[in-house]
Amino acid sequence: MTRLVRYLPVLDWGRSYTGAQMSSDLIAALVVTIMLIPQSLAYALLAGLPPEAGIYASVAPILLYAVFGTSRVLAVGPVAVVSLMTAVAVGQVAEQGTMGYALAALSLAMLSGALLVAMGLLKLGFLANFLSHPVIAGFITASGVLIAASQLKHILGVPAQGHTLLEIAASLAGLIPDTNLLALVIGGGATAFLFWVRRGLKPLLRRIGLPAALSDVAVKAGPVAAVVATTWLVQAYELNARGVAIVGEIPQSLPPLTLPSFSPELLQALFVPALLISVIGFVESISVAQTLAARKRQRIDPDQELIGLGAANLGAAFSGGFPVTGGFARSVVNYDAGAETPAAGAFTAIGLGAAALYLTPLVHFLPKATLAATIITAVLSLVDFSILKRTWVYSKADFTAVAVTIAMTLALGVEAGVSAGVLMSLLLHLYKTSRPHVAEVGRVPGTEHFRNINRHKVETSPGLLSLRIDESLYFVNARFLETLVLDRLARDKDLRNVVLMCSAVNEIDYSALENLEAINLRLKEQGIGLHLSEVKGPVMDRLQKTHFLDDLNGRVYLSQFQAWKDLAAAG
């Protein structure tokens, strides 16, 4: 039973569900549903799919996540970055607007879902940690810029293309003469309106005396207002006949049962993109889930989250959707609106199902320029180049990783960008550990504490050299220590004892062991003792399996202070 609850969190919260929780969940669901209708249509557009795919991708995934996920308020569905990555990945194997394109999007969701579930069952949630925070921040910022740029074509009403900033700019530049002025007025107007709603409306409403909660609702209704106004405009003046692109006919139906393509060549071509989408989606989702859970002292299980998101993507694959994940904006809205349990998500799914059945004719005349405006305002709020400045101040290595991520994402696209960011941050880490900090230490007077002789006023003893090695010893830096000790030896002729203080040595691998043996041999030849102090339990366990301790020309001391008492006196 406990085991079943671990894999089906719904059994945990479902059994104690109360009427009070239900009314909170219903209100939250209503707010989220209203917000999601235009957003779902917009992200389908971004992914290069027919608008209804966005709504379908919000129904089954939410329901499945409610059963398998561990976050109580995470709202799963299409999100900006994953939709862009879907457009890039599927665009490589099929032509937009074809049946093959929609089919490939289903296969991508299926692959991504299968990968997530597999990673969850194999407890590989830690893989997400290979994306450092600065790399994520840089990637989100650069993706936001790319997404906004990619939507300009809808605002201008031209068929531009491209997946990198340069491609998009070149394509747009060539098409500017073809700009549809009506689309530009609608799209530009909607964008300006939505920015004003975000920045200026709330303070205004508060000034004229509206309560905070009501002002919030008004702000959230902004996109809906833009949709209603521009749809009416197009319908009333038949602007679609004058070249304004509209959403058009949407089938009135619940999400259909669909079957992704299982073509081996297709699945192979989509494998790497699916992996990247899974990892990026997981990282985005778990960050949101953990932030919101922490506010209510709830816990998120990363491995179970993988299974929850995997189930959601498999759901999307078999119900006409495309890759989904937990979205930041919608989850925060869900939380702020008072959602208590995943049932809020289930109610949202019902709301969206109803919308798919009854409301789709109303958005027939909705201009694509308006959807583009909602995307642009949403993603530009994610753009934050300040990460460059913050990392520059703190650490040049972190700064380099961010800068590379942003530059590569803009110049070569999302997949190259995130891969370069991960690789760069790992290489920089390895480089840093290859040249570890080593401090010569002395005793802080009157204590048993030992610190760097260059930073603190400490006591030293002639003939005794105490080195604190500030890194695990492993193959990348194994030779470094040998070089350092021997160089030091060549300079100090009166040396009688060397103590390696191992308080910061968390591992000694086989390569480092061989180098330690070489150091020991060399010191022994010259009649100099080699001692270790503060060796940790796990490291000591290893050393005891070898001959190293038997051959050591000295002792292993529990603490540096004991080594000092013993050796400084002898010296």
By CB under 8 A, residue 435 contacts its own copies? yes
> CB of residue 448 vs its own copies: minimum separation in angstroms?
4
**Cα–Cα distance measured from residue 160 to residue 162, given in angstroms and rounded to the nearest whole number:** 7
Residue 126 lies near its own copies (rule: CB under 8 A): yes
Contacts to its own copies from residues 395-434, by CB under 8 A? 395, 397-398, 425-426, 429-430, 432-434
Give me Rg for the CA atoms of the chain. Answer: 30
Nearer to its own copies, 179 or 290 (CB): 290
Least gap, CB of 290 to its own copies (angstroms): 8
Nearer to its own copies, 60 or 469 (CB): 469
Stretch that binds its own copies, among 167-175, 351-359, 360-368, 498-506 (CB under 8 A): 498-506
Q: Least distance (Å) from its own copies to the CB of residue 393?
A: 6
Shortest Cβ 167–its own copies spacing (Å): 26
In whole angstroms, the minimum distance from the beta carbon of 17 to its own copies comes to 23
Give whole-number Cα distances, 162 to 84, 90, 166, 340, in Å: 11, 13, 8, 42
Q: Which residues have CB under 8 Å from 133's CB, separation 6+? A: none
As given in the structure block, the two tokens for residue 354 are 């109803």
Tell me which of 15, 129, 207, 262 binds its own copies, using CB under 8 A: 129
Tokens of 141: 């910022």
474 near its own copies, rule: CB under 8 A = yes
Q: How far is the CB of 8 from its own copies (least distance, A)?
A: 22
Helices (H), 122-178: 133-156, 165-175
Within 361-400, which residues bind its own copies (CB under 8 A)?
Answer: 390-391, 393-395, 397-398
Q: Which of residues 317-346 bind its own copies (CB under 8 A)?
A: none
Residue 66, class by beta-carbon neighbours within 10 Å (0-12 exposed, 13-18 middle, 19+ buried)? Answer: buried
Tell me, residue by residue from 130 to 169, as one string, x for binding to its own copies by CB under 8 A and - for no binding.
xxxxxx----------------------------------
Helices marked H in 450-536 — which ranges?
478-491, 510-525
Minimum separation from the CB atom of position 278 to its own copies (A)? 18
Contact between 17 and its own copies per CB under 8 A: no
**Given the complex with its own copies, which of 364 and 479 has the nearer CB atom?**
479
Q: Are strands 437-443 and 464-470 parallel, antiparallel or unpaired?
A: antiparallel
Minimum CB–partner distance for residue 126 and its own copies (Å): 5
- Report how many helices (DSSP H) and strands (DSSP E) the chain contains, helices first: 25, 8
Residue whose CB is less far from its own copies, 94 or 505: 505
| Sites for its own copies among residues 503-542 (CB under 8 A) | 503-507, 509-511, 513-514, 518, 522, 536-538, 542
At 28 the three-state DSSP class reads helix
Q: Does 570 bind its own copies (CB under 8 A)?
A: no
Residue whose C-alpha is closest to residue 31's, from 78, 73, 70: 73
Phi, psi of 446 (to 5 degrees): 80, 0
- Write the interaction track for its own copies spanning residues 280-319; mark x where CB under 8 A is met and - where it is not: --------------x--x-x--------------------
Closer residue to its own copies (CB): 216 or 470: 470
63-122: which residues touch its own copies (CB under 8 A)?
none
Give how many residues touch its own copies by CB under 8 A: 70
What does the angle CA 340 – CA 346 – CA 352 come to, to the nearest 5 degrees? 125
CB-neighbour burial class of residue 402 (10 A; exposed 0-12, middle 13-18, buried 19+): buried
- Pick from 561, 540, 538: nearest CA to 552: 540
CB of 398 to its own copies, least distance (A): 4
| Residue with the two structure tokens 């191992």 | 502
Least distance (Å) from its own copies to the CB of residue 504? 5
Pinpoint the alpha helices (H) of 296-395: 302-317, 328-336, 343-358, 368-380, 386-394
- Exposure on the CB side of residue 477, measured as CA atoms within 13 A: 21
User: Angle CA(551)–CA(555)–CA(559) in degrees, nearest 5?
Assistant: 145
Strand 76-77 vs strand 450-452: parallel, antiparallel, or unpaired? unpaired
The residue within the footprint of its own copies, chosen from 6, 198, 202, 451 (CB under 8 A), is 451
Length of the chain, please?
571
Q: Which segment (47-55, 158-166, 170-178, 441-449) binds its own copies by CB under 8 A?
A: 441-449
Residue numbers at the binding site for its own copies (CB under 8 A): 126, 129-135, 294, 297, 299, 390-391, 393-395, 397-398, 425-426, 429-430, 432-437, 439, 444, 447-449, 451-452, 455, 470-472, 474-480, 486-487, 490, 503-507, 509-511, 513-514, 518, 522, 536-538, 542, 545-546, 558-559, 561
